[in-house]
């Protein structure tokens, strides 16, 4: 309990004493060009479409197998 109160006081102390020097200029490190939105779009497109492509491949793979052949092996 005392640890939580101490953490709260430290957090409030940092919030009260914030200065502009603590802020980081994100534009200094991240160079955003016109190509950046396209790169993000293509990256997210691959993430979204990958499950559909994988399910189509798995469906095709298992659709071509003969289920009767498995029963004969048993």
Q: Is residue 41 part of a domain?
A: yes
Q: Is residue 59 part of a domain?
A: yes
Q: Is residue 40 part of a domain?
A: yes
pLDDT of residue 36: 83
Q: Is residue 8 part of a domain?
A: no
Whole-angstrom CA distances from 36 to 2, 8, 31, 49 are 47, 39, 9, 20
Q: DSSP E strands: which ranges in the chain?
A: none
pTM above threshold 0.75 = no
Domain that holds residue 51: 35-67
Q: Is residue 24 part of a domain?
A: no
Measured between alpha carbons, how far is 50 from 71 in angstroms, rounded to an integer? 33
Domain total for the chain? 1
Q: Is residue 54 part of a domain?
A: yes
pLDDT of residue 46: 93
Mean pLDDT of the region 35-63: 93
């Amino acid at each position: 309990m005392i640890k939580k109160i101490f953490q709260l006081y430290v957090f409030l102390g940092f919030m009260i004493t914030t200065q502009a020097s603590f802020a980081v200029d994100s534009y200094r490190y991240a160079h955003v060009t016109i190509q950046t939105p396209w790169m993000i779009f293509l990256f997210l497109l691959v993430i979204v479409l990958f499950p559909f492509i994988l399910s189509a491949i798995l469906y095709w793979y298992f659709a071509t197998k003969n289920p009767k052949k498995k029963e004969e092996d048993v």
